Structure formats: C-alpha cells, structure tokens
Amino acid sequence: MLREEYWRELTQGFERTALDIFHVLLHVDSDVLAERIKSDEVDAKACQWRLDHISDYEESRPWMEAAADLVVDATNLPVADVAERIAAEAERRVVFISLSGRLASQTSAGRITRGDQHMLVLTQAAAEVVKSVTSTPQLSQAAGLRISSSVAGPEDASALQVEAVAGPDAEDQVLEASGARVFVAPQAASYLDDKILDAQLDQAGNARFSLGVQKPGQV
C-alpha cells in the first residue's frame, strides 16, 4: 500500500466495522531490502516489480510511518525478534471498557460500536495492575481502582488521585475490563473520556499509572 489516498479509503472502511486495527509498518533499508528481494525464491517472478517500487516506498515512507501504530526497523533484526517486538506491543493494546450510564452498544459477539459516546480505554497491562492492587484480603470482589480529582474538570493529570477502594461511590462511573474494575469520580470523568490508562509495577511492586490520548479512530 504505497498510495496514501488508498490507505485512507481503507481506514474509513475499517472504522465503519468497529474493528480495532493494529497497523504495523516493517521498515528495511533500501539496499538490504533489494538484496532480500533478489534472494527471494518464493516470489521470484515479482522480483523486478518489487525492485522498481523501492523508490516509491521511500517516497511514501513519511506518511506511512505517521499512519502506523508501530514502526519496526527490521533491517538488522532476526525474524523472531521482529515477531517478539510486535507481540509485546500487541499485549499492551487497549481493551474496551464502557462507562455505566453511557454504555457502548454490542451489536454482535466481540464487536463494540462506539457511536458518538465517550469511553476511557484501558491497556491490558493496566488491567492486570488494577487487579493486582485490588485483589487483597482487605477488599471484596466488588473492589476496584477509584480515580478522582481534587478539582472539577481538571485540565491535566496532576489533579488526579488513584486509590484502591471497596466499591464505587454513588455517582461514580463504573468501568470493567478483563476482570479489572475502575471507578471514575464525576469530577474526573470529562478529562478521562478520551484517554488511555496504562500501568506497570516497579521493582518494589508499586503501581505506576500513566495516561495517554487516544488516536482518532482508535476506539
């Protein structure tokens, strides 16, 4: 796919299906790519055509990299390392979680349609961390991670606070994903509805949470 207008046309079609597309661009330097094409015995008939289009790829590379979710430079990487890199990133991909009271509509098994509704999303890593910090003897199965704000409608994440709690407050929005429960306080909801929550455990076992902004068409 070397023509940007064709890619945008495909992307528009993907968005209508509500599929979560993970777009990976595998880059190889031109001289190395040429040698690999020449040594390819499986698709030898297309050898010259592929060589002729290397320059087209280099010309299209800026928009292709900008459009990709992940760019892997495979020039000097073994195939196994490339696959491992992609698999590791795929594990961090977001899983859908819907806000109670503004639920996404499920049109078929495994398909969630966003429509014009807002959703916070949670990476798989964040879901695992949330379950880790809320699965304690002191907390019940209804426990979750509560995200609140010291001010109404915060402008940045510095006003946010997170804590493991036994259950949601009456006005909280309840989010569930992969067995993790997140409670969003009303003051924080508007700031979080276009965000991605990620997390990891440090060497001491402490949870570290971070927020990113969703890409257009990501959910």
Over residues 80-130, the pLDDT tens digits come to 999 998 887 776 654 444 333 333 333 222 223 334 445 788 888 889 999
In a domain, 206, yes or no: yes
- Whether 61 and 27 share a structural domain: yes
Contact 175, 197 (CB under 8 A): no
User: For the chain, what is the domain count?
Assistant: 2
Mean pLDDT along residues 19-47: 89
Residue type, 58: E
- Whether 67 and 122 share a structural domain: no
- Cα 51 to Cα 32, 58, 64, 71: the distances in Å are 11, 12, 19, 22
- Whether 152 and 98 share a structural domain: yes
- pLDDT (tens digit per residue) in 72-89: 999 999 999 999 988 877
CA angle 44, 48, 53 (to 5 degrees): 120
In a domain, 219, yes or no: no
Mean pLDDT along residues 38-54: 92
Q: CA-to-CA distance for 173 and 80, rounded, in angstroms?
A: 42
The residue from 27, 58, 91 where one domain ends is: 91
Structure confidence at residue 182 (pLDDT): 92
CB atoms within 10 A of CB 69: 14
160 contacts: CB under 8 Å, gap ≥ 6: 147, 148, 149, 154, 188, 191
Mean pLDDT of the chain: 81
Mean pLDDT along residues 46-63: 93
Mean pLDDT along residues 127-148: 88
The residue from 71, 91, 111 where one domain ends is: 91
- Whether 133 and 209 share a structural domain: yes
Q: How confident is the model at residue 216 (pLDDT cuts 50, 70, 90)?
A: low
Structure confidence at residue 20 (pLDDT): 62
- The residue among 120, 101, 95, 113 whose CA lies nearest residue 189 is 120
**Pairwise pLDDT comparison (32 vs 140), residue with the higher score:** 32
In a domain, 218, yes or no: no
Structure confidence at residue 214 (pLDDT): 76
The residue from 25, 56, 91 where one domain ends is: 91
